[in-house]
Amino acid sequence: MSLEHGALRGSVVHLAPELHGHGVVLTPATTDDAFALAEAAASSPADAYRWTFVARSADEWIDTINSWPATGRFIYTVRNEDLDVLGMTGFYDLEFWADRDAPDACEVGHTWYVPSVRGTSVNPACKLLLFTHAFETWQVARIAMRTDARNRASRAAMLKLGMTFEGVRRRHMPGADGTFRDSAYFSAVPEEWPAIKRALESRLA
């Protein structure tokens, strides 16, 4: 079962609560965040999000956030401990294979950060929180991640996480630059999670 299973999809809201630790706070994105998200995005250089769709106005954010429940996305606003908005990340393409409330597989993505926190502990902290929730609370059988195949930095970051490269899906979707993009896919399964977790924790020590 996947997105069409509306009853289970609707239960995700209470399955993915606020996550916090390691200097970041992940709160379920709501339209109340629209102005802060727009301000954070608009304060970044025009070319800061070359490979990712990032809205830059509050109205665009309101429309985007309101569209997520119908498409099975559960996205967090990322903040620091002072509650300054740093970007977004979250879960999507949730799949339900078994007769239980939690998803059995998911993708992690819709990630963007303000340039000032790139290369800091923010991304590994967010990934540790998301992966821990998915593998240890939801007990998923698989986490996937994907990126524009041209995005070398993102591909390198996924390999650094310990994800396994699965291949490239050609002309998978429109890219943020208006062209058709190929998507590079990566995944992790429960047997790999302990090593990934140790590596993330060591980066945050």
32-86 tens-digit pLDDT? 999 999 999 888 777 777 777 888 899 999 999 998 877 878 899 999 999 999 9
Say if strands 180-188 and 164-174 run parallel, antiparallel, or are unpaired: antiparallel
CA dist 102 and 116 (Å) reads 35
Q: What share of the chain is helix, strand, coil (3-state, %, to 5)?
A: 40, 30, 30
Residue 9 confidence (pLDDT) above 90: no
pLDDT score recorded for residue 52: 79
Supply φ then ψ for residue 110, to 5 degrees: 50, 40
pLDDT score recorded for residue 5: 43
Q: Rounded to whole angstroms, what are the CA distances from 200 to 142, 181, 204? A: 18, 29, 6
Q: What angle do CA 199, 84, 111 make, to 5 degrees?
A: 50
Give the closest residue to 22 by CA, choosing from 87, 78, 88: 78
143-181 tens-digit pLDDT? 999 999 999 989 999 999 999 999 999 999 888 778 899
Sequence-separated contacts (24+) of 174-181 with Cβ below 8 Å: 175/51, 175/148, 176/49, 176/50, 176/51, 176/52, 176/53, 176/148, 177/50, 177/51, 181/148, 181/149, 181/150
Contacts of 174 (CB under 8 A, 6+ apart): 180, 181
Segment holding 70, helix H or strand E: none
88-124 tens-digit pLDDT? 999 999 898 988 888 999 999 999 999 899 889 999 9
pLDDT score recorded for residue 117: 93
CA dist 173 and 178 (Å) reads 10
pTM over 0.75: yes
pLDDT score recorded for residue 2: 41
Number of H helices, E strands in the chain: 7, 8
